[in-house]
Structure 1
Amino acid sequence: MSLKSTLARLYAAHVVRSTERWASHPLEVQMRWLHKLVNTAKHTQFGKDHDFTSIKNYDDFKKRVPINDYEGLKNYIEKIKAGQSDVLWPGKPLYFAKTSGTTSGTKYIPISRESMPYHIAGARNMLLHYIHRSGKVDFVDGKMIFLQGSPILSDTNGIKTGRLSGIVAHYVPAYLQRNRMPSWDTNCIEDWEAKVEAIVRETVKEDMRLISGIPPWVQMYFERLLHYTGKATVSEVFPNFSLMVIGGVAFEPYQKIFDKLIGKTIDTLELYPASEGFIAYQDQPDNRDLLLLLDGGIFFEFIPADKFFESNPPRYHIGEVKTGVNYAVILNTNAGLWGYNIGDTIEFTSTSPYRIRVTGRIKHFISAFGEHVIGSEVEYAINQAIKAHGGRINEFTVAPQVTPPEGGLPYHEWWIEFDEMPADMSAFALTLDQALQDKNVYYKDLITGKILRPAVIRTLPKNAFNQYMKSIGKLGGQNKLPRLSNDRKIAEQLEKFFSNQQVDL
């Protein structure tokens, strides 16, 4: 065993003990963060505007701090961009993380000196938990690929600005610098397709052991790698490849395609990073549920998703949540985000310690007919169909078809890019629809009540979704395709691009 492996084991044991200490006192830790955040920011403009000096407890906080999205904080962020200090958090942000918005255009998410270390510690501590609980440490002696955005940063009135993954690239610890790939120059390539080709050429001869990224972009890298080498599987190219770290979208729909591409079973870890803060990671190798990071610079609030759009929805702290309920996640951070709706929904799977599953986006749902189908439900449905009838998918999205051009009852329209078609597509579609009915009683009532017809599947050619994402300037990086929409914007674009190649069922 190398010195690096030995030190990693020792450090891992220390980090796991530290995690267990704060995880055993969740409410105490969270309330300590609430008071620390409010006290630190009480002399900022936001703190004065919302009377932070009078906040003594969580009830006071809820009365004074409204739920915000980016638009709700935009006036404050614009003042920071203009050069003002002490607006949302003392001083100025260390960085702005740029993210793509729908209604807001480009969003500038502040990252402070206090919050930056938690962004770095999240992924590191996940790997250390893996080392401690699996006993596997050999990957630290090989090469590691991190598929991420360009680390080239722009300047916004003295504040360095870029994609979160590009910002994080500046913080790779010295002991990993010789292991990490791609090289700095390759990482700086802006065009995603050119970047992937360069990564393939640069990494093909290396002893690759860990690969990390969003599943569709890791898939693209693997496919280009196999095309370049002529090999049948990634494990032939990288025989010591043993660990994949993924985040951004649910991994289960990709499982079969990755099993085929890799050619052997390897360990997979999931994490939940965001520009607004590092939220959770998988702390157990054999359990995909994510440990919520209650001691990470964030005070969390939760709103039941089915009440989120009410005029005055209930807000709960960690001590008030229940398992099995779909919640919208609200953040209050040590970078100055207050009552911030991150847009994601989660479900608690455990409260000792607090572990979660990401269930979707609060605005990504289908309820054109009152069914309120969410992301985790469509992912469950397609997984059940794959288990029953085989096939492998690259990507999919779902939209309502309210006024079918062919006439008849409306339906949910599934656009699926298969890597391998199921043996019986009609049976696949029936199983998928029945699984969604099993998960969502409102959808079932609409089907049985003859308000909707069962789901219609449209198949798409290989690389269809990559072509779509490229056409809207969102190929690569941290960009993700919405798995479902309550309108037909994506469906209409797909219809336009691939109308001659789709198959109706």
Structure 2
Amino acid sequence: MIIKYLSGYFTPSFLKRRIKNIEFFIRYPIEIQNKLMNQLILYARNTEYGKKYGFCDIKKYKLFSERVPICKYSDIKHFVERIRKGEKNILWPGKVKWFARSSGTANAKSKYIPVTKSAMNTCHYKAGKDMLSIYIHNHPKTKIFLGKAVRLGGSYELHRIYNTFYGDLSSILIQNMPFWIENICVPRKKIALMSEWEKKLESIVKETGPQDVRILLGVCSWMLIFLRKLLKEFDKKKIDEIWPNVEVIFHGGVNIRPYIYQYQELFDKSINYYDVYSASEGFFAIQDQKNVKDLLLLLNHGIFYEFIPIEEINNAYPKIFSIEKVELNKNYALVISTNAGLWRYIIGDTVKFTSLSPYRISISGRTTHYINSFGEELIVENAEKALNKTCMKTNSIIHEYTAGPIFMNQKNSGSHEWIIEFEKRPNNLSEFSNILDNELKSLNSDYEIKRYKNIVLGPPVIYAARNGLFYNWLKKHKKLGGQNKIPRLYNNRKYIDSILEMEKK
């Protein structure tokens, strides 16, 4: 690993140079994105997909948007299955060896997202470098490279028939990780890729506890479980007693807001929290400012972005915009074309732009994770802001939660049912419900209108879950560890009823 001595601290020198590249795409965002679109099209012009949609003569965005259809996983599943069987040059040139498995759709138990070498190197790993570069830039006296980084990852499996691999994205990235980052990461790859979460957790605790850890990387909900296990194993009250030099947590996958108070209780000192936005389909954005959670959209990392206004998402021919046409504080479904061979692919996330110079976003939710059974259009962003304020006012702490509709009948109006596992329970659940209700009204005018005199929508119904309920539910459904997470909001009772059924047992 190339190391340079900077201001009295060891820092990989190439990370310092990455800032200039970031500043360049910030300065020329439209030009960078248009150039990237043309590069992707040019590279894939001789693939089966490229020939089908005439990539060879597409030069401008207008023709690209007219000729290439937007799609969901169900639209390209048959292509992916052929790629998994070893066929080449289908969506992207060459053969694809790795597939990130993620939660399924109505038509498939699991999605298998191609992860090409190009996507690994010029998207995921490049974004990882930029994540560290931004941190170094913001904290020039950092000493993170004098110690180790703890990573929490999933596992992968071999598809023996076709000799391809599939698994959690984190496991794919760990298996193929460049030497410069592998050198500072713990636990060892053998442990990091263990498939059984609870055994892996024990092994990670034992291996990392004696190390000089300075960086934590992972989904914040699973990281919290790991840190508590660490404290119990070493019989300590604070993480600082085990790792006095911990400096930063890089987290993604779920919003850290519901967990932040629990993290603060684990540390005596103040540490830095940096949010990232990555998924099986790509690495999209990074927090680039201290203590400001808006995320800088990565515009030169192998992904061309488009955006569908959320009110158009169910239209047969929705309006769709490139980045130069987006507006502030408008809810958009994210659409991507990537160097993994995803073309105008709707990934299911929704975002809002908080800045247009540079382009910064906040993650507002999922196209499928919302409640709109009564026209209230409640999204995850509303829910988490309201819960955070409610916890502050009731001196309570939430560990996990999910919510769904209670449908109206001839006798009663509808309502929302919230299953909440509290870390610190409020003194009065009825008061908690009233405050949550008012906070949601203040954040969402549609919710407020539907709550008028309880005619359409009644007050929230709060169910305080027993400790460990959500963990046990995830375990039952084989979703422990990795990038798995609790569905926050859902427009039917699929998850609510499944979790409540476990509670009764």
Are residues 1:24 and 2:54 paired?
no
Give 1:6 shift.
4.6
Instruction: Report 1:320-359 matches (<5 A).
Output: 320-359=325-364
Q: State the match for 1:63 in structure 2.
A: 66
Q: State the match for 1:82 in structure 2.
A: 85
Q: Secondary structure at the match of 1:328?
A: strand
Q: State the match for 1:157 in structure 2.
A: 162
Please give the per-residue CA displacement for 1:168-210, whole angstroms capped at 9, x wherever unaligned. 1134333443431112222232111111111111122221111
CA contact (8 A) 2:371 2:405 kept: yes
Give 1:425 shift.
2.8
Are residues 1:142 and 2:142 paired?
no
Which amino acid in 1 is paired with 2:76? L
Q: State the match for 1:460 in structure 2.
A: 465
Length-normalised TM-score, structure 2: 0.94
- Select 1:198's aligned residue among 199, 203, 225: 203
CA contact (8 A) 2:421 2:469 kept: yes
Q: State the match for 1:380 in structure 2.
A: 385
Give 1:221 shift.
0.5
Structure 2 CA distance for partners of 1:177 and 1:114, relative to 1, 3 Å = closer
| Total equivalences in the alignment | 499
Give 1:135 shift.
1.7
- Select 1:218's aligned residue among 200, 219, 223: 223
Paired with 1:9 and 1:369, the residues of 2 have a C-alpha distance of 54
Paired with 1:36 and 1:286, the residues of 2 have a C-alpha distance of 35
Instruction: Report 1:265-280 matches (<5 A).
Output: 265-280=270-285
Structure 2 CA distance for partners of 1:297 and 1:458, relative to 1, 3 Å = same
CA contact (8 A) 1:395 1:465 kept: yes
- Select 1:227's aligned residue among 215, 218, 232: 232
Structure 2 CA distance for partners of 1:11 and 1:284, relative to 1, 3 Å = farther
Are residues 1:413 and 2:395 paired?
no
Give 1:94 shift.
4.2
Which amino acid in 2 is paired with 1:89? W
- Select 1:53's aligned residue among 52, 56, 60: 56
Structure 2 CA distance for partners of 1:431 and 1:370, relative to 1, 3 Å = same
Superposed CA RMSD in Å reads 2.0
Paired with 1:366 and 1:29, the residues of 2 have a C-alpha distance of 37
Please give the per-residue CA displacement for 1:347-369, whole angstroms capped at 9, x wherever unaligned. 11111110111111001110111
Structure 2 CA distance for partners of 1:420 and 1:274, relative to 1, 3 Å = same
Please give the per-residue CA displacement for 1:312-345, whole angstroms capped at 9, x wherever unaligned. 1101001000110010000101111011011100
Please give the per-residue CA displacement for 1:369-428, whole angstroms capped at 9, x wherever unaligned. 1111111010111011012121111111110011489x6332111111101112333222
Give 1:55 shift.
2.0
Are residues 1:246 and 2:251 paired?
yes
Please give the per-residue CA displacement for 1:426-456, whole angstroms capped at 9, x wherever unaligned. 2222111111111111111111142111111
Which amino acid in 1 is paired with 2:197? W
Are residues 1:447 and 2:451 paired?
yes
Q: Which moved more, 1:274-283 or 1:99-108?
A: 99-108
Paired with 1:156 and 1:2, the residues of 2 have a C-alpha distance of 50
CA contact (8 A) 1:98 1:161 kept: yes
- Select 1:483's aligned residue among 488, 493, 500: 488
Structure 2 CA distance for partners of 1:248 and 1:4, relative to 1, 3 Å = farther
Q: State the match for 1:180 in structure 2.
A: 185
Give 1:63 shift.
1.3
Structure 2 CA distance for partners of 1:384 and 1:52, relative to 1, 3 Å = same
Q: Which moved more, 1:44-53 or 1:288-297?
A: 44-53
Q: State the match for 2:114 in structure 1.
A: 110
Which amino acid in 2 is paired with 1:13? K
Q: Which moved more, 1:317-326 or 1:283-292?
A: 283-292
Structure 2 CA distance for partners of 1:342 and 1:4, relative to 1, 3 Å = farther
CA contact (8 A) 2:68 2:344 kept: yes
Which amino acid in 2 is paired with 1:416? I
CA contact (8 A) 2:249 2:274 kept: yes
Q: State the match for 1:35 in structure 2.
A: 38
CA contact (8 A) 1:155 1:161 kept: no
Paired with 1:233 and 1:116, the residues of 2 have a C-alpha distance of 36
Q: Secondary structure at the match of 2:388?
A: helix
Paired with 1:126 and 1:386, the residues of 2 have a C-alpha distance of 31
Please give the per-residue CA displacement for 1:46-72, whole angstroms capped at 9, x wherever unaligned. 111112223231121111111111111
Structure 2 CA distance for partners of 1:175 and 1:32, relative to 1, 3 Å = closer
Structure 2 CA distance for partners of 1:269 and 1:109, relative to 1, 3 Å = same
Paired with 1:20 and 1:481, the residues of 2 have a C-alpha distance of 36
CA contact (8 A) 1:152 1:188 kept: no
Give 1:228 shift.
1.5
Paired with 2:303 and 2:264, the residues of 1 have a C-alpha distance of 36
CA contact (8 A) 2:156 2:165 kept: no
Q: Which moved more, 1:94-103 or 1:264-273?
A: 94-103
Structure 2 CA distance for partners of 1:372 and 1:156, relative to 1, 3 Å = farther
- Select 1:435's aligned residue among 436, 439, 459: 439
Q: Secondary structure at the match of 2:328?
A: coil
Paired with 1:236 and 1:67, the residues of 2 have a C-alpha distance of 52
Which amino acid in 1 is paired with 2:195? E
Structure 2 CA distance for partners of 1:175 and 1:6, relative to 1, 3 Å = farther
Structure 2 CA distance for partners of 1:208 and 1:300, relative to 1, 3 Å = same
